C-alpha cells in the first residue's frame, strides 16, 4: 500500500568540503536557516571546508576567479579567466563579495557560527581531514563542538525526518 | 483571511495566523497568541516585542542577527524566549507580518 504521509524535516546534517566563500556560506545559510525554523542542525566541515572553522583561515576565505563560469564583471560582461589569474584579482573580487554580503546583513563566518550555536545548532570537524592537514582542536574556532569520525556522523543521523546534504 | 476574537477584540488574521493590521494589537492580544504558542510572556518578552514593533513600524527588516544586536537580548536569549522558531513566533505574537528574511 502506498504511504502518502508527509514527514516534516526534523534534523539536517550539512557537510561542507570546500573553502570557497560561496560553498561555506551555502552551508552556513542553510544551517542557520534550519535552526531558525526549529530544525535540529549539525554542520560537518571536512577537507578544505575546515578553513571555514580554522581560526587562522576563517576570515580569509576567497571565491575562485579562475575556472568559475558564473564569474562576471560588474555590469554583467564576461570575466576572462586570464584576468582572474592575475595577482590580487581574486583578493579584490573576494573583498567585493564580502562587502556585498555585509550590505545584506550577512554576518562574517565567526559571527555566523555563533548565531547557529546560539540557536542550538552544532559544529563538527572531520577527524581524518584534521589529521591530514595536521590541525588540532586548538586551531579551531571555539564554537566547534567536537572532532568526529564519519562513523560518529552517521550515528547522528537517527530518527525519522533526517536528511544529509553535501553542499 | 479570517477574523477571530482575541482578548475581546475582533482581529483579522491571514492564513498563517498573523495579524493583518498591526495597529489592532494590544498587550492582551499578544499574551493570548503567546499562550497558543505555549509561551507565557514576561517583561523581557514585552520589551523585545516593543523593539520589534518599532522596527517594523520604521519599515526595517528583521533578522536574528539584528535582534541579537538590539541591546534587549542576544541571539541565545532570543532563542530562549521564543523556543523553536523564534523569528516566526515573536512576530506572530507581536502582531506584525511574518518576516521574509533568510538569515
Could you read off the pLDDT of B48-63 as tens digits, one per residue?
999 999 999 999 989 9
CATH number for the domain running over A11-64+85-166: 3.40.1260.10
Please check whether residue A110 touches B, CB under 8 A. Answer: no
Model confidence over A54-102: pLDDT tens digits? 999 999 999 999 988 888 888 889 888 889 999 999 999 999 999 999 8
Look-up of cell digits 572553522: A53
Please check whether residue A38 touches B, CB under 8 A. Answer: yes
Bridge-partner residues for A147, per DSSP? A125
Average pLDDT, chain A: 94
Strand ranges inside A20-80, DSSP E: 40-45
Average pLDDT, chain B: 94
Q: What is the mean pLDDT of residues B82-102?
A: 94
CA A10, chain centre distance (Å): 20
Please check whether residue A33 touches B, CB under 8 A. Answer: yes
pLDDT for the residue numbered B40: 97
> Which residues from chain A sit within 8 angstroms of residue B102, using beta carbons?
29, 33
Bridge-partner residues for A15, per DSSP? A44, A166
Q: What is the mean pLDDT of residues A1-7?
A: 80
- Read off the C-alpha cell for A148: 568526529
> Which residues from chain B sit within 8 angstroms of residue A107, using beta carbons?
65, 103
Instruction: Output B40 or A103, whichever has higher pLDDT.
Output: B40
**Is-contact A14 A167, C-beta < 8 A?**
yes
Round to whole Å and give the CA distance between A92 and B97: 39
User: For B3, phi and psi rounded to 5 degrees?
Assistant: -110, 150
Cross-chain Cβ contact A105/B75 below 8 Å: no
Residue A33 has pLDDT above 90, yes or no: yes
pLDDT for the residue numbered A39: 97
Residue A1 has pLDDT above 70, yes or no: no
Residue B15 has pLDDT above 70, yes or no: yes
Look-up of cell digits 493590521: B21
Bridge-partner residues for A12, per DSSP? A41, A163
Domains in chain A: boundaries? 11-64+85-166
Task: Please report which residue ranges of chain B form alpha helices under DSSP H.
Answer: 27-36, 43-57, 64-68, 75-81, 86-94
User: For A100, phi and psi rounded to 5 degrees?
Assistant: -65, -40
Task: Return the minimum-mean-pLDDT range out of A12-21, A35-44, A68-77, B33-42.
Answer: A68-77
CB atoms inside a 10 Å sphere around CB B40:
8
> Which residues from chain B sit within 8 angstroms of residue A32, using beta carbons?
64, 103
Cross-chain Cβ contact B86/A111 below 8 Å: no
Q: For residue A29, what pLDDT band results from cuts at 50, 70 and 90? A: very high
Beta-strand pair B2-6/B9-13: antiparallel
Please check whether residue A32 touches B, CB under 8 A. Answer: yes
A153 to chain B, minimum CA–CA distance in Å? 24
Q: For residue B2, what pLDDT band results from cuts at 50, 70 and 90? A: confident
Task: Return the minimum-mean-pLDDT range out of A3-7, A132-136, B14-18.
Answer: A3-7
Q: For residue A37, what pLDDT band results from cuts at 50, 70 and 90? A: very high
B20 to chain A, minimum CA–CA distance in Å? 22
**Is-contact A65 A95, C-beta < 8 A?**
no
A159 to chain B, minimum CA–CA distance in Å? 18
Range 47-106 of A in CB contact (< 8 A) with B: 104-106
Q: Of A38, A105, A118, which has the smallest distance from its Cβ to B76's Cβ?
A: A118
Amino acid at each position: 500500500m502506498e504511504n502518502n504521509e508527509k514527514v516534516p524535516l526534523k534534523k539536517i546534517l550539512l557537510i561542507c568540503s570546500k573553502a570557497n566563500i560561496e560553498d561555506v556560506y551555502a552551508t552556513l545559510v542553510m544551517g542557520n536557516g534550519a535552526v531558525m525554523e526549529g530544525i535540529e542542525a549539525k554542520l560537518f566541515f571536512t577537507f578544505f571546508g575546515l578553513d571555514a572553522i580554522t581560526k587562522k583561515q576563517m576570515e580569509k576565505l576567497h571565491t575562485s576567479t579562475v575556472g568559475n563560469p558564473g564569474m562576471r564583471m560588474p555590469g554583467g560582461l564576461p570575466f576572462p579567466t586570464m584576468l582572474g589569474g592575475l595577482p590580487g584579482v581574486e583578493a579584490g573580487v573576494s573583498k567585493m563579495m564580502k562587502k556585498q554580503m555585509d550590505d545584506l546583513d550577512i554576518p562574517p563566518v565567526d559571527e555566523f557560527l555563533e548565531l547557529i550555536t546560539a540557536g542550538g545548532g552544532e559544529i563538527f570537524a572531520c577527524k581524518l581531514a584534521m589529521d591530514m592537514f595536521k590541525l588540532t582542536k586548538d586551531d579551531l574556532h571555539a564554537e566547534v563542538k567536537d572532532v568526529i569520525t564519519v562513523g560518529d556522523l552517521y550515528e547522528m543521523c537517527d530518527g525519522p525526518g533526517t536528511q544529509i546534504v553535501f553542499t | 483571511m479570517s477574523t477571530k476574537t482575541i482578548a475581546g477584540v475582533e482581529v483579522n488574521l491571514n492564513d498563517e495566523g498573523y495579524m493583518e493590521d498591526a495597529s489592532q494589537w494590544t498587550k492582551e492580544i499578544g499574551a493570548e497568541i503567546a499562550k497558543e504558542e505555549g509561551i507565557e510572556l514576561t517583561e523581557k518578552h514585552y520589551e523585545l516585542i516593543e523593539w520589534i514593533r518599532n522596527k517594523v513600524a520604521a519599515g526595517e527588516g528583521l533578522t536574528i542577527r539584528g535582534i541579537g544586536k538590539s541591546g534587549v537580548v542576544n541571539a541565545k536569549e532570543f532563542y530562549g524566549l521564543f523556543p523553536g522558531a523564534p523569528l516566526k513566533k515573536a512576530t506572530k505574537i507581536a502582531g506584525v507580518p511574518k518576516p521574509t528574511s533568510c538569515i
